[in-house]
Amino acid sequence: MTSNNSWGLTPAELRKLRGLKTPHGIQRLLDDMPYHLEDSAWSPRLVLRENTSHCYEGALFAAAALRVIGYPPLILDLEAEHDTDHVIAVYRSPNDGHWGALAKSNYTGCRYREPVYRSLRELVLSYFDTYFNLRGERTLRTFSRPVHMKRFDRLDWMTTEEPVWFVAEYLLTISHSSLITRAQAQRLHRLDGRSFRAGCLERAEKKL
């Protein structure tokens, strides 16, 4: 899976991204990056330059890196109640077509998923128990369809020096599918203390 297109990336940037080789290689780089808490919307070029990202930037970076190694650049929005949304990059295994995901998160369980899920709903449900707020409430409610990032190529989403809020704004406009019913949501229990602590392991926090 190769491409002759540079998408505006420099030869050095392309070498760096191609060197990641696989989706898991991309995730390893994301995991090695410090998580930052700035209210920013960096392009993949800036993430690569600064070697840090948060959830939204990490998903865009992962989508760009997937594109460079030959996969479609797809992202998907997870929508939460009483919590922040989460954006992930998704891909299908070339071996059997099952779905996996790449993600940057400040919570332990909201990152990588191996490509073993038969549907996107099944993949998204794997995040349910590990998606919680600081009150210990399970907050994941809906998910969007996959968005192919080529729709933003005219805006140079992979390389611009300007904030790429336009992708986040688009995600707010598209339809989302429910994961659970309202009745199920009302019956949910809070996380136990051990699961909460495990999910917050090495969580980055703003310094006072």
pTM of the model: 0.95
Helix (H) or strand (E) holding 101: strand 99-102
Q: What is the mean pLDDT of the chain?
A: 96
* CB contact set of 109 (below 8 Å; sequence gap of 6+): 127, 129, 130, 131, 198, 199
Report residue 2's pLDDT band, with 50, 70 and 90 as the boundaries: very low
Digit-coded pLDDT (tens) for 3-31: 458 999 999 999 999 999 999 999 999 99
Is residue 156 within 8 Å of residue 122, measured between CB atoms?
no
Report residue 1's pLDDT band, with 50, 70 and 90 as the boundaries: very low
Q: How many CB atoms lie within 10 A of CB 61?
A: 27
Nearest to 59 by CA among 32, 33, 87: 87
| pLDDT for the residue numbered 208 | 64
Is residue 144 within 8 Å of residue 174, measured between CB atoms?
yes
Per-residue pLDDT, averaged over 38-63, amounts to 98
Chain centroid, CA 42 distance in Å: 14
Distance, CA of 202 to CA of 208 (rounded, Å): 17
Distance, CA of 7 to CA of 21 (rounded, Å): 18
Digit-coded pLDDT (tens) for 142-189: 999 999 999 999 999 999 999 999 999 999 999 999 999 999 999 999
